[in-house]
Amino acid sequence: MSSKVSPGPEFQDWLAPERTAVVVVDMQVDFAAPDGALGKAGLDMSVAAPALEAAEGLVSAARMSGVPVIFVGLATDPETDSPVWGEWRRRNGQGGDGALCRAGTRGAQFFGPKPQPGETIVWKMRYSGFFGTGLDAILRARGVDTLVVCGLTTECCVDCTVRDAFHLDYFVYVPADCCAAYDDGMHAGALASLELNCATITESCAVMAAWNPRAAQQA
């Protein structure tokens, strides 16, 4: 992966608060908490902790700078589970039903940065935050053409959301420290692929400095 973009006069214009939104993807109990579904299944949730902390700082700085924060979360239901996904799991030798973030359960609750009253929450049933949701319409109505996307996991729901955003003609920035995968190589590979094809890879400190140097220091 090439060197990450650093803040500068152009960077400040590209990420101006009036055109930008932060999209937080799937930072939820089942994906990030030790007592969530994946933690109970034996995955090491400590790998997500630095990204959660960095994302909290990014979200705080966004709020201080007047940048809207939109939370995108997975909310599944047995009645809407995809038969194809179930069969795909079976064909690939994966055990169990793969049920995560069941709507209305603790597993679907946000973990790390959490929505404040009045902030937008978009619930999805697939990997991408744009698939089958109103996210695009929400962003267009606010005059947003630039997204800062963070979340879990880098190679899955972050990747799919970023690619769909690019296909919809958004400029997309991904702060690498605000994303995580359960495998470091997968995280790095996903970022390299996104940087090659559809996103600008940066760090949260650079994004915050572009908005407001003082806010970056406080966050």
Give the closest residue to 24 by CA, choosing from 65, 62, 50, 81.
62
* Cα–Cα distance for residue pair 214/219, rounded to 1 Å: 9
Active site residue 150: no
Instruction: Output the pLDDT for position 217.
Output: 52
What percent of the chain is predicted at pLDDT more than 90? 81
Q: What Å distances lie between residue 181 and 84, 176, 185, CA to CA? A: 24, 11, 9
Let me know if 4 is a catalytic residue. no
How far apart (Å, rounded) are the C-alpha atoms in residues 168 and 28? 26
* Active-site hit among 156, 157, 160, 179: 157
Structural domains in the chain plus CATH codes:
9-218 (3.40.50.850)
Contact 25, 151 (CB under 8 A): yes
Q: What is the mean pLDDT of residues 193-209?
A: 97
Residues 143-181 pLDDT 10s: 999 999 999 999 999 999 999 999 999 999 999 999 999
Total H helices, total E strands in the chain:
10, 7
Strand stretches in 26-106, DSSP E: 69-74
